[in-house]
């Protein structure tokens, strides 16, 4: 069993608490770098060890390559070295992913989030080659993102075990929800796991994930910091209490509609964002959705 010293935050590639950050836009849909810096500071102040930029929650499908670079540089300017910056670079085109990876490294990212190529459903050997080629392209540590609900294909256990041999493939953001498969990978590799599904944060930590990559963390970072610390300290009852208290917020943000829609509305309610603007085809939360969100965030103790 790994010692507590082995699991100490300095030994981890991206710490323990990570939030997949939204990309703020002005009312006209243009990129709002000042608002992004404000959100990043809010998250750093809330206890995050790392921020994931340009992920799906950051609306990466509708931001340009240049905007992705500008966002990394703006957040680095605002935070300095306070937190690690992990850049989402994954696409369903290996050559484009490599280009984005090199661009992110040049912009100052500390690591790369590489999602499973989506829609074109490559075979497992195609996935293995894709991830290996991206990892070969820079000197940065890679966080693989296993999310079959969006990508249409999973990274199978045997593929993850093979990829773990690559020196720069160090971690997995797991939104697959297969705890048995995750346990098998953990038993056979040195990969660090980060839970990528907020409803499973406690369960994933219990089986050996080192941390979480959250969406709800935009408004619940201090609470998730406490939850992680409780698990590390062996305080299961304390972790359960926090996890259960956050159920209304997790359910509303993650299940009513797309997570980026609801978490931008939550940040507006919390006074962190002025505009909850999204880029088409995403749309802002409806008044009814905002009403429910307000009720559930209050119930979870996240807003007054």
By annotation, the residues acting in catalysis are: 145, 173
Buried b (16+ CB within 10 A) or exposed e, 21-53: bbbbbeeeeebbbebbbbbbebbbebbbbbbbb
* Rounded CA Rg of the chain: 18
Instruction: For residue 60, give every residue at least 6 positions away whose Cβ sits within 8 Å of its Cβ, in sequence order, or none.
Output: 23, 54, 68, 88
Contact 40, 52 (CB under 8 A): no
Calculate the alpha carbon distances from 189 to 89, 114, 131, 142, 167 in Å.
24, 19, 16, 15, 12
Question: Rounded to whole angstroms, how far apart are CA atoms 191 and 142?
Answer: 11
Calculate the alpha carbon distances from 65 to 22, 81, 107, 178, 202 in Å.
16, 23, 12, 33, 35
Contact 114, 138 (CB under 8 A): no
Q: Which of 176, 144, 154 is nearest to 55 (CA)?
A: 144
């Amino acid at each position: 069993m790994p010692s507590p010293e082995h699991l100490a935050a300095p030994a981890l590639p991206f710490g323990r608490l990570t939030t997949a950050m939204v990309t703020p836009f002005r009312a006209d849909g243009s990129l709002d770098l000042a608002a992004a810096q404000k959100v990043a500071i809010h998250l750093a102040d809330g206890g995050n060890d790392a921020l994931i930029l340009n992920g799906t929650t950051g609306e990466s499908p509708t931001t340009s390559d240049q905007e992705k670079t500008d966002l990394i540089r703006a957040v680095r300017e605002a935070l300095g070295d306070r937190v690690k910056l992990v850049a989402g670079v994954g696409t369903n085109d290996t050559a484009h992913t490599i280009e984005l990876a090199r661009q992110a490294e040049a912009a100052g990212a500390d690591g790369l989030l590489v999602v499973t190529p989506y829609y074109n459903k490559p075979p497992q050997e195609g996935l293995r080659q894709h991830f290996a080629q991206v990892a070969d392209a820079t000197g940065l540590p890679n966080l693989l993102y296993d999310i079959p609900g969006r990508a249409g294909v999973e990274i199978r256990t045997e593929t993850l075990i093979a990829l773990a041999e690559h020196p720069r493939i160090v971690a997995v953001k797991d939104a697959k929800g297969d705890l048995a498969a995750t346990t098998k990978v953990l038993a056979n590799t040195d990969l660090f796991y980060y839970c990528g599904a907020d409803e499973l944060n406690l369960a994933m930590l219990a089986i050996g994930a080192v941390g979480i990559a959250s969406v709800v963390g935009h408004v619940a970072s201090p609470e998730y910091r406490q939850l992680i610390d409780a698990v590390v300290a062996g305080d299961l009852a304390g972790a359960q209490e926090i996890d259960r208290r956050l159920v209304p917020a997790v359910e509303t943000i993650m299940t009513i509609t797309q997570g980026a829609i609801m978490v931008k509305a939550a940040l507006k309610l919390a006074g962190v964002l002025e505009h909850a603007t999204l880029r088409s085809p995403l749309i802002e939360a409806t008044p009814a959705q905002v009403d429910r969100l307000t009720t559930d965030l209050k119930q979870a103790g996240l807003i007054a």
